[in-house]
């Protein structure tokens, strides 16, 4: 037979339409109002549901927010008891359980509670009270839906990452870095703060390729990127601009900090030779760095000086990058393995 299922008219797999079998063994957590129903529901579900069932009282819900979140959560609800409804809102609010499938079980016939449960983010409700067969059926439907949306989310995440990441080094790429740098500049201007832009370029990198081949050059590049990244603070920006050149931005950076950060980066590259499987011996490597500072006092990002009132932020930023580039050129010309402002 033709594999028609899962294919759209264009012959391409359409993840929204393709049938995905429910996971054979999902983690399901039942949350009841009392110990008695906890035991009853769990034993009733054992006969008709092949998933791994755990059950707790709603009041003891800490297991829900610890460790691996369950694939599905079933919450018992009752009139005059807000604990279950509050829990539904909590499940949605927390990053760990946000994607869990949620089924609510209000008292039989309580339409108001059923509506409120859906309103608070439950994916489905049992309107006639607890029924193990119906719950098993709806669980599988919700687990399939969750599996499809997990896959689409993963695809989107990968595409988003590929759009902003340099695939060789794992650093951000130029396409991500430029708007991000503009954002850093805008924030600095708003808060009247300084920030620094650094351009770092590995020294005589071409010799590595010439002597050991391109794969060795790639290996050195990857380790250099990692050393630079590790020498920075979490809020700093580092991107591979192309070849063996990196752009670094240090937000909220005092002038003296920019130069010391640049020296730290130089030391991180020079401190120990690069060991790669593609070369017979360790390779000594250095980097040259050009630094450009933007301070409120320069007038470029603070209150404008006379005649500079209409400075365009994009122009100011390209001028800053040009300054870093000239400083880098000066570092190269004066002997490499150094920092220039
Ligand atoms: P300088 O100290 O003046 O910067 O000298 P350099 O040799 O580092 O600079 P140059 O610009 O002359 O050469 C850079 C070399 O980097 C040339 C190019 O083949 C190499 N390169 C650029 N991208 C990659 C890459 O992704 N992998 C490898 N292996 N080499 C690359
Ligand atoms: Mg060069
Ligand atoms: Mg170079
Ligand atoms: Mg270069």
- pLDDT of 23 reads 78
Nearest Cα residue to atom 4 of ligand 1: 203
Q: Is the CB of 206 under 6 A from ligand 1?
A: yes
290-317 mean pLDDT? 75
**Confidence check: pLDDT of 12 > 80:** no
Atom of ligand 1 at shortest distance to CA of 206?
A: 7
Active-site entry in 76, 116, 193, 244 = 244
Q: Is the CB of 220 under 6 A from ligand 1?
A: no
Nearest Cα residue to atom 24 of ligand 1: 243
Contact 278, 212 (CB under 8 A): yes
Q: Is 48 helix (H, G, I), strand (E, B) or coil?
A: helix
Q: What angle do CA 291, 293, 298 make, to 5 degrees?
A: 145
The pLDDT confidence band at residue 245, using thresholds 50, 70 and 90, is very high
**Confidence check: pLDDT of 159 > 70:** yes
- pLDDT of 65 reads 81
236-264 mean pLDDT? 96
Biggest CA pair distance of the chain:
83
Pocket test for ligand 1, best of 206, 225, 269, 274 (most atoms within 8 A of CB): 206
54-67 mean pLDDT? 82
- pLDDT of 306 reads 63
291-309 mean pLDDT? 69
Q: Classify the C-alpha dihedral 219-222-225-227 as positive or negative.
A: negative
Contacts of 326 (CB under 8 A, 6+ apart): 290
- 61 CA → ligand 3 middle, Å: 57
What is the distance between the alpha carbons of residues 177 and 163, in angstroms, rounded to a whole number? Answer: 11
Q: Is the CB of 336 under 6 A from ligand 1?
A: yes
The pLDDT confidence band at residue 14, using thresholds 50, 70 and 90, is low
Beta bridge partners of 202: 287
What is the distance between the alpha carbons of residues 128 and 102, in angstroms, rounded to a whole number? Answer: 17
- 3 CA → ligand 3 middle, Å: 53
The pLDDT confidence band at residue 6, using thresholds 50, 70 and 90, is very low
DSSP codes joined into one string, 189-246: HHHT--EEEEEEEETTHHHHHHHH-HHHHHHHHHHHHHHHHHTS-TT-EEEEEETTEE
Atom of ligand 1 at shortest distance to CA of 214?
A: 29
Q: Is the CB of 333 under 6 A from ligand 1?
A: no
Q: Is 72 helix (H, G, I), strand (E, B) or coil?
A: strand
Nearest CA to 52 out of 36, 70, 33 is that of: 70
DSSP codes joined into one string, 82-144: -HHHHHHHHHHHSTTTTTSEEEEEPSTT-HHHHHHHHHTT-SEE-TTS--HHHHHHHHHHHHH
Nearest Cα residue to atom 2 of ligand 1: 203
C-alpha distance from residue 76 to each of 83, 92, 212 (Å): 10, 16, 67
- pLDDT of 309 reads 58
Matching residue, tokens 């008891």: 81
For the chain, the average pLDDT equals 90
Q: Is 172 helix (H, G, I), strand (E, B) or coil?
A: strand
Give the pairing of strands 245-250 and 195-202. antiparallel
Q: Is the CB of 215 under 6 A from ligand 1?
A: no
Instruction: Reply yes or no on whether 244 is catalytic.
Output: yes
Q: Is the CB of 205 under 6 A from ligand 1?
A: yes
């Amino acid at each position: 037979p033709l594999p028609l299922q899962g294919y759209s008219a264009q012959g391409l797999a359409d993840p929204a339409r393709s049938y995905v079998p429910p996971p054979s063994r999902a983690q399901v957590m039942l949350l009841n109002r009392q110990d008695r129903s906890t035991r009853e529901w769990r034993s009733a579900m054992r006969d008709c549901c092949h998933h791994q069932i755990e059950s707790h009282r709603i009041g003891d819900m800490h297991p829900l927010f610890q460790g691996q979140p369950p694939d599905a959560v079933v919450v018992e609800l009752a009139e005059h008891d807000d604990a279950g409804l509050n829990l539904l809102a909590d499940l949605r609010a927390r990053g760990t359980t946000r994607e869990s499938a949620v089924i609510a079980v209000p008292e039989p016939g309580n339409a108001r509670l059923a509506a409120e449960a859906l309103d608070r983010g439950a994916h489905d409700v049992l309107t006639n009270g607890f029924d193990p067969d119906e719950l098993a059926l709806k669980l599988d439907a919700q687990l399939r839906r969750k599996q499809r949306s997990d896959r689409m989310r993963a695809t989107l995440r990968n595409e988003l990452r590929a759009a902003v990441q340099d695939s060789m080094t794992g650093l951000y790429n130029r396409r991500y870095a430029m708007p991000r740098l503009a954002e850093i500049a805008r924030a600095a201007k708003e808060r009247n703060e300084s920030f620094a832009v650094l351009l770092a370029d590995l020294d005589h990198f071409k010799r590595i390729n010439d002597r050991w081949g391109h794969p060795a050059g790639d290996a050195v590049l990857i380790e250099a990127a990692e050393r630079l990244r590790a020498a920075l603070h979490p809020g700093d920006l580092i991107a591979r601009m192309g070849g063996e050149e990196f752009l670094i931005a240090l937000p909220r950076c005092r002038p003296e900090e920019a130069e010391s950060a640049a020296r730290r980066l130089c030391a991180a590259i020079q401190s120990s030779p690069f060991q790669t499987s593609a070369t017979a011996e360790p390779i000594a490597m250095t980097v040259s760095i050009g630094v450009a500072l933007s301070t409120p006092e320069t007038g470029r990002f603070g209150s404008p000086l006379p005649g500079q009132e209409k400075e365009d932020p994009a122009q100011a930023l390209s001028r800053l990058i040009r300054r870093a580039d000239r400083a880098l050129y000066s570092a190269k010309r004066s002997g490499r393995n150094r920092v220039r402002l």
